[in-house]
């Protein structure tokens, strides 16, 4: 058994320098080393001026932020960083990495939905927020994104929620941007209302939080769930039927004097002597099996997706997992970051990312992303 010390961040809003320097401060104060940073969305990975065109955000807030330095290598991530998408993202860039990948060295985007294994613990994440009118549709957004579809592409889709229900194994950590519906009932609701009185109306009408995330929470029952979006620190302990519990924590956005960072320590199955070595990131074979089974369900139509019977699919996934393990893959996630757009690019173009191509080729997945619309940089 070993331990991993994780820093969890709420919304990043492009403030990577401040987040990493807060981690340095914490390490100096506590004499503890942080192994991993998890960021719960609104990351804003803007590589170049053109990315501002597909940034889902009001014009007055559009600015480059710190990320470009990390993309070019001028700055280095202080700790390995994993993030999900929120509702303010560089949607064009992140679409290249629909299944996840490195947006910069040591900074891993989990994709629209994913499950990976870090030092033996399972970390899952789903990007985006809930908008009922887009929930059952395919990814109808055509590239290059405009100011409308760079937003809707970060509206969660039922197919990704379906994939999580197929995991059926223990999940250690789940990441989302918004909160599961009703989670606010399982923490200090009065304190929450005193800092955010305007939540009351939405609590009463049942609109505070995301019903799709509640389905995932009830289904996968993770040990920890981290979230952001509501710009306040809030902790809850959510009980499940079979005496399991989920420790929920939402954090604020990165602003002075706000509770935007929390340090937690988790036991890992990896031996303690390996602690000072590099973090070990692996694909989750179960997730790859799920992607294979769900590949034909992926749609780019603006019509309602009919999802199949879940029990039938659970059996399919079990068989596919056996086949996959028989193929003897190396499941370690390669450090294969490759820049696509030039950091000076001013025109919004479409790129096919070699990480997505390699991932699909390796695991024999059909690549639905950016094929047939490749523009070379
Ligand atoms: P963002 O930074 O993503 O634009 O917006 C987050 C802000 O919207 C936060 O200040 C949060 O309190 C507010 N917000 C997000 N979801 C809800 C909701 O369901 N109800 C209410 N009343 N406010 C929300
Ligand atoms: Mn948000």
Q: Which ligand is nearest to the CA of 128?
A: 2
Per residue in 158-169, pLDDT (tens digit) is 999 999 999 999
pLDDT value for 377: 44
Query: Ligand 2 centre from 42 Cα, in Å?
Result: 6
- pLDDT higher than 50, residue 343: yes
Q: Does the CB atom of residue 198 touch ligand 1 within 6 A?
A: yes
Q: Using CA atoms, how far apart are residues 284 and 296, in angstroms rounded to an integer?
A: 20
Q: Does the CB atom of residue 5 touch ligand 1 within 6 A?
A: no
Under 8 Å between Cβ of 78 and 19: no
pLDDT value for 26: 97
Phi, psi of 305 (to 5 degrees): -90, 130
Of 41-50, 57-66, 167-176, 354-363, least confident by mean pLDDT is: 57-66
Residue 55 forms beta bridges with which residues?
A: 90
Residue of the CA atom closest to atom 18 of ligand 1: 208
pLDDT value for 278: 86
pLDDT band with cut points at 50, 70 and 90 for residue 374:
low
What average pLDDT score do residues 326-349 get?
Answer: 97
- pLDDT higher than 50, residue 20: yes
pLDDT value for 1: 87
- pLDDT higher than 60, residue 376: no
Burial of residue 28 (number of CB atoms within 10 Å: 0-12, 13-18, 19+): exposed
Residue of the CA atom closest to atom 5 of ligand 1: 229
For the CA atoms of 44, 174, 96, 298, the dihedral, rounded to the nearest 10 degrees, stands at -140
- pLDDT higher than 80, residue 92: yes
Per residue in 119-138, pLDDT (tens digit) is 999 999 999 999 999 999 99
- Within 10 Å of residue 319's Cβ, how many Cβ atoms? 11
Please report the atom of ligand 1 found closest to the CA of residue 208.
Answer: 19
- pLDDT higher than 80, residue 116: yes
Under 8 Å between Cβ of 82 and 50: no
Query: Ligand 1 centre from 186 Cα, in Å?
Result: 19
Residue of the CA atom closest to atom 13 of ligand 1: 230
Please report the atom of ligand 1 found closest to the CA of residue 88.
Answer: 3
- pLDDT higher than 70, residue 276: no
Q: Does the CB atom of residue 229 touch ligand 1 within 6 A?
A: yes
- Within 10 Å of residue 116's Cβ, how many Cβ atoms? 21
Query: Ligand 1 centre from 230 Cα, in Å?
Result: 5
Q: Does the CB atom of residue 250 touch ligand 1 within 6 A?
A: no
Under 8 Å between Cβ of 154 and 129: yes
Per residue in 284-313, pLDDT (tens digit) is 999 999 999 999 999 999 999 999 999 999
- Please indicate, yes or no, whether the overall pTM of this predicted structure exceeds 0.95: yes
């Amino acid at each position: 058994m070993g331990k991993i010390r994780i820093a969890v961040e709420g919304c990043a809003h492009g403030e990577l320098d401040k987040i990493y320097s807060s981690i340095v401060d914490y390490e100096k104060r506590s004499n503890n080393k942080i192994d991993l940073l998890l960021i719960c969305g609104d990351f804003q990975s803007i590589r170049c001026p053109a990315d501002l065109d597909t940034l889902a955000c009001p014009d007055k807030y559009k600015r480059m932020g710190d990320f470009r330095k990390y993309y070019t290598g001028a700055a280095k991530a202080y700790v390995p960083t994993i993030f999900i998408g929120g509702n303010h993202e560089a949607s064009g860039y992140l679409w290249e990495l629909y299944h996840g990948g490195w947006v910069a060295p040591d900074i891993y985007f989990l994709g629209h939905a994913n499950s990976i294994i870090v030092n033996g613990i399972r970390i899952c994440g789903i990007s985006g927020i809930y908008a009922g009118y887009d929930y059952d549709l395919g990814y109808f957004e055509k590239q290059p994104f405009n100011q409308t579809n760079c937003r809707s592409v970060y509206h969660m889709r039922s197919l990704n929620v379906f994939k999580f229900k197929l995991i059926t194994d223990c999940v250690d950590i789940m990441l989302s941007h918004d909160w599961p519906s009703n989670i606010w009932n399982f923490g200090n609701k009065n304190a929450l209302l005193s800092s955010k009185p305007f939540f009351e109306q939405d609590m009463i009408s049942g609109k505070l939080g995301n019903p799709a995330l509640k389905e995932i929470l009830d289904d996968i029952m993770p040990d920890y769930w981290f979230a952001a979006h509501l710009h306040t620190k809030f902790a809850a302990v959510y009980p499940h039927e079979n005496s399991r519990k989920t420790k929920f924590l939402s954090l604020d956005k990165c602003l002075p004097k706000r509770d935007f960072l929390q340090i937690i320590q988790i036991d890992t199955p990896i031996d303690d002597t390996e602690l000072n070595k590099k973090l070990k990131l692996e694909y989750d074979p179960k997730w790859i099996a799920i992607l294979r089974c769900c590949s034909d369900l992926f749609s780019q139509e603006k019509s309602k997706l009919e999802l199949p019977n879940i029990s039938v699919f659970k059996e399919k996934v079990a068989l596919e997992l056996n086949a996959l393990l028989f193929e003897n893959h190396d499941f370690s996630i390669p450090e294969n970051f490759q820049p696509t757009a030039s950091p000076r690019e001013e025109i919004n173009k479409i790129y096919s990312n070699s990480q997505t191509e390699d991932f699909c080729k390796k695991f024999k997945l059909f690549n639905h992303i950016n094929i047939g619309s490749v523009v070379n940089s």
